């Protein structure tokens, strides 16, 4: 009997996923738990395993399609077996129980939505009643699309949804946006013909040539559109065989969107501090072999940095905070993000989060960092482990960079950049006597959101972090 391949629930906040690629094609033999396709959410890409031994007999969702959690993606069965009608998944049963009865022939979502004439948000005095479920779950992807199109949470609550439990899906929201745009365009057309039915106003004074010049019709716009069309057309075809055009992957698109959104959201400012790692280096050299034998993980600079940051953040609440509208949210816990570079199947960056890092000692942090980094690189990280961070550390120094000015990981308000660490001659003063010594030096940068964090606040935090690192005396 054929078994369904189902879009899994990859975390509490994940409601839908996109098929990136099918690793097997109909007729291919598969083994249970063998990767059969790759899916992507707004947080992570993941491989979906085959539910049983057999043959891939059907693909129900094609590459590039986005579907809800619980959707049947395909079927695995015996060779030569015909695909069976997929049994209803638990999520679809729940949805049927919570949604009102629908006609046997379903109509597209867009015609069932009654958008306001203009603009997208309905007037407070005349909300759309009875079409939505206030307070229901809205996925981060849907909420982001709504924000980009100026749709408030109040409007989202009024929209009918076709997802589980009446949830508004990405398709529902895009249909609403398209229908609203059409309605707005239809409202503009009669307005352009209004002068024919409205009595003419009293004649106005004849304007001067200078005043009448700006009222020239849209001819310049037509003229300017011609070269733009030529430029875009010429860019679609490579000039020679020395170029390769490749569509951006889902992960790369998410990175693009997140970076631009962060720049548009936060007022980025960066401050830099020199740090002397000599004491930490002495401790590492003394204990790293013993630590590796006892714990099975390395005693890296990142471990010391993570331990220091979690201590210092507790003393500087404005750095471990978030802005929501006009409210400031101070976080009592430190959920520490560690940026991890990946190179397969393509270069990228993910930020797994150590939950409650402030409750861990140095040894616990070492294990968490090693585990999350390894599972991120082999694409076995869970979506929930990539969210919820309150502060992030990124380390461009691993690749020899003196320092970097990283972009803030929203909705956080600061991110620490770690530069390379190398021996340098440094002037040291002891009892008023200056001398030159060789020290292990590095640079730290803090990119912070100037809407909330002032320069003095950022520098005080960095000064505290610098002192904590430079006065480290022993292995806890």
**Which two tokens mark 229?**
């069309």
CB 311 within 8 A of CB 464: no
Domain identity same for 430 and 286: yes
Tens of pLDDT, residues 36-68: 898 887 667 778 888 889 999 999 999 888 888
Domain identity same for 436 and 322: yes
Q: How far apart are CA 116 and CA 186, in angstroms?
A: 12
**Which domain CATH number covers 462?**
3.30.559.10
pTM of the shown model? 0.61
Q: How many CB atoms lie within 10 A of CB 337?
A: 24
Q: Is 172 a catalytic residue?
A: no
Domain identity same for 149 and 185: yes
CB 401 within 8 A of CB 381: no
Catalytic residue among 157, 268, 450, 464, which? 450
Domain identity same for 337 and 449: yes
Q: How many CB atoms lie within 10 A of CB 208?
A: 8
Angle between helices 170-193 and 140-148 (to 10 degrees): 20
456 in any annotated domain: yes
Q: Which among 417, 455, 421 is positioned nearest to 309, based on CA atoms?
A: 417
Q: Tell me which residue range forms the domain holding 53.
A: 3-87
Domain identity same for 69 and 121: no
The β-bridge partners of 336 are 354, 391
When divided into structural domains, the chain yields a total of 3
Among 144, 170, 189, residue at a domain's last position: 189
The SS3 call for residue 22 is: strand
Tens of pLDDT, residues 1-28: 789 999 887 665 577 888 888 999 999 9
**Which two tokens mark 368?**
């968490």
Domain identity same for 176 and 290: no
Buried b vs exposed e over 294-306: b needs ≥16 C-beta within 10 Å?
Answer: eeebebbbbbbbb
Domain identity same for 301 and 419: yes
Catalytic residue among 33, 35, 153, 454, which? 454
Write down the H helix ranges in 101-241: 109-112, 140-148, 153-158, 170-193, 209-212, 219-235
DSSP line for 143-159: HHHHHHTT--HHHHHHS
Q: Which residues contact 282 (CB under 8 A, 6 or more apart)?
A: none
pLDDT at 33: 85
Higher pLDDT, 21 or 335: 335
pLDDT at 277: 97
pLDDT at 91: 42
User: Is the predicted pLDDT of residue 107 greater than 80, yes or no?
Assistant: no
Q: Which residues contact 302 (CB under 8 A, 6 or more apart)?
A: 338, 369, 393, 395, 418
pLDDT at 344: 75
Question: Which sign does the torsion angle of CA 173, 178, 179, 180 carry?
Answer: positive
Can you list the positions of beta strands (E) in 297-432? 321-324, 327-330, 336-338, 340-342, 348-350, 353-354, 391-394, 414-430
Domain identity same for 421 and 356: yes
Percentage with pLDDT > 90 across the chain? 45
Going by the DSSP 8-state scheme, the letter that residue 244 receives in this structure is -
Domain identity same for 306 and 434: yes
CB 382 within 8 A of CB 405: no
CB 113 within 8 A of CB 176: yes
246 in any annotated domain: no
Among 87, 105, 131, residue at a domain's last position: 87
Higher pLDDT, 109 or 464: 464
Average pLDDT, the chain: 79
Q: Which among 10, 32, 35, 7 is positioned nearest to 22, based on CA atoms?
A: 35
User: Is the predicted pLDDT of residue 148 greater than 90, yes or no?
Assistant: no
Question: Which sign does the torsion angle of CA 157, 160, 166, 171 carry?
Answer: negative
Q: Is 459 a catalytic residue?
A: no
Q: How many CB atoms lie within 10 A of CB 455?
A: 11
């Amino acid at each position: 009997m054929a078994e369904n391949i189902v879009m899994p629930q990859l975390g509490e906040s994940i409601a839908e996923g996109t098929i990136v690629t099918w690793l097997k094609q109909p007729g291919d033999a598969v083994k249970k738990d063998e990767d059969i396709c790759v899916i992507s959410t707004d947080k992570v890409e993941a491989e979906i395993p085959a539910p049983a031994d057999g043959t891939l007999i059907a693909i129900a969702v094609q590459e590039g399609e986005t579907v809800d959690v619980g959707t049947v993606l395909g079927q695995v069965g015996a060779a030569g077996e015909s695909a069976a009608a997929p049994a209803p998944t638990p999520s679809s049963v729940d949805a049927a129980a919570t949604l009102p009865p629908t006609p046997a022939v379903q109509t597209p979502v867009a015609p069932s939505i009654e958008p306001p004439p203009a603009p997208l948000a309905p007037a407070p005095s005349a909300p759309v009643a009875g079409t939505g479920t206030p307070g229901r779950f809205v996925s981060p992807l849907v909420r982001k699309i709504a924000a980009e199109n100026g749709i408030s949470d109040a409007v989202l609550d009024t929209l009918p949804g076709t997802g589980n439990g009446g949830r508004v899906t990405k398709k529902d929201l895009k249909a609403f946006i398209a229908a609203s745009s059409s309605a707005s365009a239809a409202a503009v057309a009669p307005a352009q013909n209004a002068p024919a039915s409205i009595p003419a106003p009293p004649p106005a004074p004849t304007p001067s040539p200078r005043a009448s010049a700006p009222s020239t019709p849209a001819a310049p716009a037509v003229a300017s559109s011609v070269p733009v069309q030529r430029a875009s057309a010429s860019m679609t075809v490579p000039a020679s065989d020395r170029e390769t055009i490749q569509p951006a992957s889902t992960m790369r698109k998410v990175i693009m969107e997140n970076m631009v959104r962060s720049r548009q959201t936060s007022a980025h400012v960066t401050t830099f501090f020199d740090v002397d790692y000599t004491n930490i280096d002495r401790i590492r050299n003394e204990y790293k072999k013993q630590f590796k034998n006892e714990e099975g993980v390395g005693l890296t600079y990142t471990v010391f940095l993570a331990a220091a940051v979690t201590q210092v953040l507790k003393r500087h609440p404005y750095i471990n905070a978030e802005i929501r509208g006009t409210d400031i949210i101070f976080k009592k816990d430190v959920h520490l993000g560690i940026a991890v570079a990946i190179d397969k199947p393509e270069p990228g960056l993910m930020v797994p989060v150590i939950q409650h890092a402030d409750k861990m000692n140095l040894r616990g942090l070492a294990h968490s960092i090693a585990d999350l980094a390894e599972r991120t690189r082999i694409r076995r990280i869970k979506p929930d482990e990539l969210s919820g961070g309150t502060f992030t550390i990124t380390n461009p120094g691993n690749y020899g960079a003196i320092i970097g000015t990283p972009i803030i990981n929203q909705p956080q308000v600061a991110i620490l950049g770690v530069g390379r660490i190398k021996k340098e001659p440094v002037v040291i003063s002891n009892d008023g006597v200056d001398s030159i010594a060789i020290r292990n030096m590095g640079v730290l940068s803090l990119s912070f959101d100037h809407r909330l964090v002032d320069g003095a606040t950022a520098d005080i935090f960095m000064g505290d972090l610098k002192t904590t690192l430079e006065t480290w005396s022993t292995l806890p």
